[in-house]
A = this chain, B = another copy of it.
Amino acid sequence: MTKAADRLLDAIEEKKNPSVVGLDPRIGLIPEHIKEEAAREGDMPFETVHNALVKFNHAIIDAVKDVVPAVKPQMAFYEQYGSWGVKAMESTISYARARGLVVIEDAKRNDIGSTAKAYADGHLGTVETADKTSVTAMGADFITVNPYLGTDGIKPFLDACKEHHRGIFVLTKTSNPSSGEIQDVLTTDGIPVYELVASLVNGWGEELMGTYGYSSVGAVVGATYPREAERLRELMPNTIFLVPGYGAQGGTAEDVMPCFDPQGRGAVVNSSRGIIFAYQREAYRHEYGPEGFAEAARAAASNMRDDLLAALEKSGKLPKGW
């Protein structure tokens, strides 16, 4: 199996598209006809939610699978429904991977020692069952992690990445307004905390370098902070950036350009609501009703790709042959 960084970068080359669709389903926004079907097949409230999430996600995945290289299910939107929600996550991950999509599980997990190992094994590797056989639980390609606990919290994930050819994205500079409260604080070394995290990420990634010169240890860098992203791109030449904040959070295609290297590589830009619930947006509502939600998502994903490619071209970074 190729390294996770290479699988992601290969998929980006193949689709000629450095973007990822965030699978953040909200039951209130899922079309009524899906919920009605789901209710006919489930008895309990959470079972019905599970059915609706699965039907919705599978349709979205089928619609976007030849447009985008990857999907990013956000664990919170599944886990909030407890075990039934996590079951929908499992189904989503395996359905997407079986259709050739790279799966980035956005879970921002963090803990230490044997506890971090349990997270790493469960999400990226295999776990031992009662009769001592090894079984895959979640089976994602990548998971997002939080660095606040230091190397003790990351090492078990690195071990799982090495053994199972998986990857992580480490929260570095996040897209939200208050991210600076801790991340921007200046240290006595003259650098902000997020630059300190960047240097840790560089170190963590050294042993997971792929053939493109990028490591399977990536960084989360928000689209809403282009100046910081530019600096981080310099500081982390071997790190793939997972870029949230495009679209609904206000980041534009131009804002994310500093996340790419001069050859237009090394970044993958996420959009969630703007794609999966495109059928409710002014620009898509009239052409695609609720029945056409998946086609609307496909159109929105194609438009996002075109938007990014136009910005890459304008900034002189469009990869050769795209």
Instruction: Fill in one digit per residue for A87-119: 1 if any B CB lies within 8 Å of its CB, else 0.
Output: 101100000000000000000111111111011
Q: Which of A62-70, A149-157, A208-216, A263-271 contacts B (4 or more CB under 8 A)?
A: A149-157
Q: Which residues does chain B contribute within 8 Å of A49, judged by CB atoms?
A: 129-130
Whether B81 pairs with A137 at a CB distance below 8 angstroms is: yes
Query: A59 in the interface, Cβ–Cβ < 8 Å?
Result: no
Closest-by-CB residue of B relative to A189 is B185
**Which residues of chain B are within 8 angstroms of A236 by Cβ–Cβ distance?**
none
B122 contacts A148, C-beta separation under 8 Å: no
A52 contact set on B, CB distance < 8 A: 130
A35 to B27, CA, bound (A): 37
Interface pair A130/B188, CB less than 8 Å apart? no
- A27-B176 contact given A115-B76, A182-B193, A188-B186, CB 8 Å threshold: no
Q: How far is the CA of A159 from the CA of B38 in the complex (A)?
A: 31
Contacts of A186 in B (CB 8 A): 187-188
Rounded to whole Å, the gap between the CB of A221 and the closest CB of chain B is 14
A83 interface residue (CB < 8 Å to B):
yes
Contact residues on A (Cβ < 8 Å of other chain), bracket: 35 or more
**Contacting pair A148 B182 (CB below 8 A):** yes
Determine whether A128 belongs to the interface, using a CB cutoff of 8 Å to chain B.
yes
C-alpha spacing A30/B130, complex, angstroms:
9
Q: Which of B118, B130, B178 contacts A150 (CB 8 A)?
A: B178
25 contacts between A and B (CB under 8 A): A27-B129, A28-B128, A28-B132, A39-B131, A45-B131, A46-B129, A49-B129, A74-B111, A77-B115, A79-B122, A80-B121, A81-B122, A81-B127, A82-B122, A82-B137, A108-B109, A108-B111, A110-B110, A112-B176, A151-B181, A152-B179, A185-B187, A185-B189, A186-B187, A193-B193
B-binding residues in A (CB < 8 A): 24, 26-28, 30, 35, 38-39, 45-46, 48-49, 52, 74, 76-77, 79-87, 89-90, 108-116, 118-119, 121-123, 127-133, 135, 137-138, 146-153, 171, 174-183, 185-189, 193, 196-197, 200
Top 4 closest pairs, chain A to chain B, by CB? A80-B122, A150-B178, A150-B181, A83-B87
